[in-house]
Chains A and B, each alone.
Chain A
């Protein structure tokens, strides 16, 4: 993935996502370095909101949650099932 910025904050997930969104909008277009935020507080988002917000933020940085460290051929693996 290369270099990235990781920030840990002592808030709940919903507040952390707001800050994460703010940081991505301001930092990523200038630096092109992905920004990640983790939180120490509660997961106060519903599963669907968590997935939705995570997808939206990572899409802004063109960074997939499913970036692996090694090459794969999943389309072939799954087609053989």
Chain B
């Protein structure tokens, strides 16, 4: 099985925003891993974060905070013309196509993550159970779930997490490497 790296949502965001501070190093890392034949994976959970944040950026462009290069605003407007739920659906599909075709990133979903387990007569999805079992790690819940997913995706060869989040991941880097056997690569601009 090929070794795989799990990409945090912030790497995906950097890759789809070419003027982002982390675009160049994320792109270099992704190309380098592609050349090495390493698998790049992310989760549908990460896509929730990416879609939400991208949508937030689009909506703020109306107030002039973000300005899209010509001739892109007319395509952004087509997204804006859709009903809110449809806009999110279109955006999700855009993101999947773009990262899959351009960077060979695979979005992995696995039924086993949602397998129902039981604890104290209470049903719990395996993913959330894993998150709870790892909640001794000092990190925000949002990031803890990425770690839980990466840990469960070891069955897909995941051996590392790549993120731009130095503030949250630097303090727990060694813990993840030593206790979970998950290497952490923090990209800096």
> Which residues of chain A have a CB within 8 Å of any CB of chain B?
1, 4, 6, 36, 38, 43, 47-56, 58-60, 62, 64-76, 78-79
Contact = CB atoms under 8 A, between A and B. Distances in A.
A62 B31 CA distance: 13
A64 B78 contact: no
Given A4-B71, A75-B164, A65 B94 contact: yes
Contact of A48 (B13, B67, B70, B93): B93
B67 A68 contact: yes
What is the predominant secondary structure among interface residues of chain B facing chain A? helix
Contact of B89 (A51, A68, A71): A51
B121 interface: no
A74 B167 contact: no
A62 B53 CA distance: 21
A21 B110 CA distance: 32
Given A1-B69, A65-B75, A69-B67, A47 B17 contact: no
Given A47-B89, A65-B76, A69-B67, A60 B94 contact: no
A75 B101 contact: no
B86 interface: yes
Interface of B: 10, 13-14, 16-22, 49, 53-54, 57, 66-72, 74-76, 78, 81-82, 86-87, 89-98, 100-102, 164-165, 167-168
Contacts of B69: 1, 67-69
Contacts of B74: 38
Contacts of B70: 1, 4
The 10 A-B pairs of least Cβ separation, nearest first, read: A55-B97, A51-B93, A59-B101, A51-B90, A51-B94, A47-B86, A59-B102, A47-B90, A55-B98, A75-B10
Contacts of A53: 97
A36 B13 contact: no
Contacts of A56: 97-98, 101
Contacts of B82: 47
Given A47-B82, A58-B98, A66-B18, 5 more contacts: A53-B97, A59-B102, A62-B102, A66-B57, A75-B165
